[in-house]
Structure 1
Amino acid sequence: MHGWQLTSHDTLILEEIGDCVAVYSNATGETHLLDALPAEVLSCLSSGACLTHLELAVAVAEVADEPWESWLPQVCNVLERLASMQLVERFAR
């Protein structure tokens, strides 16, 4: 089984801008503007945790006060998108 974590060689700087979050990556030098769901996923991982997509869906569902099953496909898509931006990476658990 694998989990997800923030990219190990990176330091991210997050700043709320209205309903979005700007994320600056020291490793890539890029800034990304994220909406609420990707920002919440990064927030869950920001403590250094390595979480599975299921654990992340449960965490997001608790914030939204909705069933986790409805969030699972969206969280999986967000994780792939964040990985393509080099903000998160898979980690063997």
Structure 2
Amino acid sequence: MLWKRLYGDNIWAQCSEELEGLNKDFRKMLGEHAEFKTLNLKDILTASDGTKKLEDGLVIETVLIPCERGRNTVCISSQVGCAMNCRFCYTGR
């Protein structure tokens, strides 16, 4: 339910008061302990195979990997310089 209230139906909540449908006490707790920030995209790097690396320059790096079957895979690292060392991703190298 929280995911749906944060991102579903193009809501993109900016504060806990915008999370309609959630328990009042839960919304209050979120307002006290969670930050609602929007990412500011700094750069998009596109590889020859259509893979795109999106980064904000500070907090996260995201890789969008297109699939021939018409779907996408998204890898979101929790930090710039993720150490998972996935074969398809340059971040860990």
Provide TM-score, normalisation by structure 1.
0.28
Of Structure 1 and Structure 2, the greater strand share is in 1
Of Structure 1 and Structure 2, the greater helix share is in 1
| Higher relative contact order structure (alpha carbons within 8 Å, sequence separation ≥ 6) | 1
Provide TM-score, normalisation by structure 2.
0.28
